[in-house]
Amino acid sequence: MTLIDNHMPTADIQALDAAHHLHPFTDGAALNALGARVITRADGVMLTDSEGNEYLDGMAGLWCVNIGYGRKELADVAAAQMQQLPYYNTFFQTTHPPVVALAAKLAELAPGDLNHVFFANSGSEANDTNIRMVRHYWAAQGKPDKKVIISRNNAYHGSTLGASSLGGMSGMHAQGGMVPDISHIDQPYWYGEGGDMDAEAFGLERARLLEAEIARLGEENVAAFIAEPVQGAGAVIIPPASYWPEIQRICDAHDILLIADEVICGFGRTGSWFGSQTFGIRPDIMTTAKGLSSGYIPIAASIVSDKVADGINKGGDFNHGYTYSGHPVACAVALENLRILEEENIVGHVADVAAPYLQEKWSKLAGHPLVGEARCVGLMGALELTPDKSTRAKFKDGGAAGLICRTHCFDGGLVMRATGDTMIIAPPLVITPAEIDTLIERATDALDKTYEDLKAQGIV
Ligand code: PXG
């Protein structure tokens, strides 16, 4: 058996990495000068690097390892499925048991009448599917002009051309351009953009931007609105309670499909199976990926309502699909992951144990001199670093404080991400209160060290 392991000295792995591997979202030259950290194994909530250092993984990989690392059951099921039926497609009047079982399971878990599933391999591909599916849906209803999709600035929906166009990251739009007929409204980011406004009034104001944008474009031209229940990569932006009910009202009033991008929020992250349940959203389509397999294997799914499925079926062939849509091994692994989430009541653990415990400890970090806001929902949280708590001021050199803090976290055995000067966490859902204590201790230590560094540089 060939298991690629830490078979070489770290420096040799780093040299090969620098010579041949292009990293996502990375300044390659800067990384190659530093050398990448080499992660070699993981168990539970802990990672180990090639030097034997251990880290508490406060990001569950990339927001995906919901059941934690090292679950042998998923490996066993993959091996068994590979031996029985390693591959078959579902294009030409064929199907296979794992894809049917997973589609039925997702229909059971998903809220409302979201009973139909189109499979992909990544959240990006699933969102590309959604773009084509909603446009095809409206064309099949005799409304081919309804094709604009409204999204939000600072949203993240993936990196393919379609998904990055849906996303609201200007740095991505600047590289490679955008597909047409997508527009963006401002996000419900009260800490960063709410100024002196009351948070709930601000939430309503931001939701009503959707109604204004529909009016500007003409309802007859708008296909759908897409949004993450809680923006993840955008820095864990938790909307005010007033936001989602108003968005739902507007979508209903104007006959606009609502796509909830649950790639991060799905499968327990917010303390319910789906973020849509936590926020009372009734989507027509949910995008899911990441936690669907806890990241053990690539798989994603667009889960759609009876109305959307019936609607696209009226349009004849839906000319869309990936070689690996509903891959049998990926489906088998996802099903095993869902079995574990369900039988071990991991979503209940988030709701009843881990999230309330994190909420209590995390909110206390707001007392730190560097922290302007400490917010969390379920097991996702953010710390806004600021040079002046009283005014929620931003650092002049945006992003530098976040990077200093991230480095101190790594050095202290914690993976915590920096998005600009906002520190974010989303640990595996199986994290225990004792492990949350460790996370908080390490985060506090990193904040203290960052504060000392910034003081020494005269920044705070
Ligand atoms: N939607 C959302 C809400 C996501 O968070 C995607 C779609 C795309 O999924 P794929 O599987 O194509 O990556 C994502 C992915 C970050 C980061 O830096 C977040 C993601 C991916 C990479 C980095 O927080 N989310």
**Any residues with CB less than 8 A from the CB of 211 and at least 6 apart, and which?**
250, 253, 254
Cβ of 59 closer than 6 Å to ligand 1, yes or no, is: no
Residue 132 has pLDDT above 70, yes or no: yes
**Any residues with CB less than 8 A from the CB of 422 and at least 6 apart, and which?**
235, 236, 382, 383, 384, 385, 402
Q: How many A from CA of 426 to the centre of ligand 1?
A: 13
Cβ of 158 closer than 6 Å to ligand 1, yes or no, is: yes
Q: How many A from CA of 289 to the centre of ligand 1?
A: 9
pLDDT tens figures, 379-408: 999 999 999 999 999 999 999 999 999 999
| Nearest atom within ligand 1 for CA of residue 290 | 11
Mutation probe of ligand 1 site: the residue of 127, 156, 231 with most atoms within 8 A of C-beta? 156
Per-residue model confidence (pLDDT) at position 2: 56
Rounded-to-integer distance, Cα 275 and Cα 456, Å: 42
Torsion angle, alpha carbons of 192, 127, 26, 20, to 10: 170
- Helix segments in 279-431, DSSP class H: 306-313, 328-343, 346-349, 355-364, 400-411
- H or E element that contains 227: strand 222-227
AA letter at 218 = G
Cβ of 233 closer than 6 Å to ligand 1, yes or no, is: yes
Q: What average pLDDT score do residues 83-88 get?
A: 98
CA angle, 225 as apex, 223 and 228 as ends, to 5°? 150
| Nearest atom within ligand 1 for CA of residue 300 | 11
Cβ of 243 closer than 6 Å to ligand 1, yes or no, is: no
Q: How many A from CA of 454 to the centre of ligand 1?
A: 31
Rounded-to-integer distance, Cα 161 and Cα 423, Å: 28
Architecture of domain 73-343: 3-Layer(aba) Sandwich (3.40)
Which residue ranges make up each domain of the chain? 38-67+345-456, 73-343
What is the percent of the chain where pLDDT is above 70?
Answer: 98
Q: What average pLDDT score do residues 35-53 get?
A: 96
Mutation probe of ligand 1 site: the residue of 231, 264, 380 with most atoms within 8 A of C-beta? 264
Q: How many A from CA of 245 to the centre of ligand 1?
A: 25
Cβ of 372 closer than 6 Å to ligand 1, yes or no, is: no
Cβ of 231 closer than 6 Å to ligand 1, yes or no, is: no
Rounded-to-integer distance, Cα 330 and Cα 324, Å: 9
Q: What is the assigned CATH class of domain 38-67+345-456?
A: alpha beta
Question: CB of 42 within 8 A of CB of 60?
Answer: no
Q: How many A from CA of 264 to the centre of ligand 1?
A: 7
Is the full-model pTM beyond 0.95?
yes
Query: Residue 6: which pLDDT band, with cuts at 50, 70 and 90?
Result: low
Query: Residue 256: which pLDDT band, with cuts at 50, 70 and 90?
Result: very high
Residue 358 has pLDDT above 60, yes or no: yes
Rounded-to-integer distance, Cα 422 and Cα 235, Å: 7
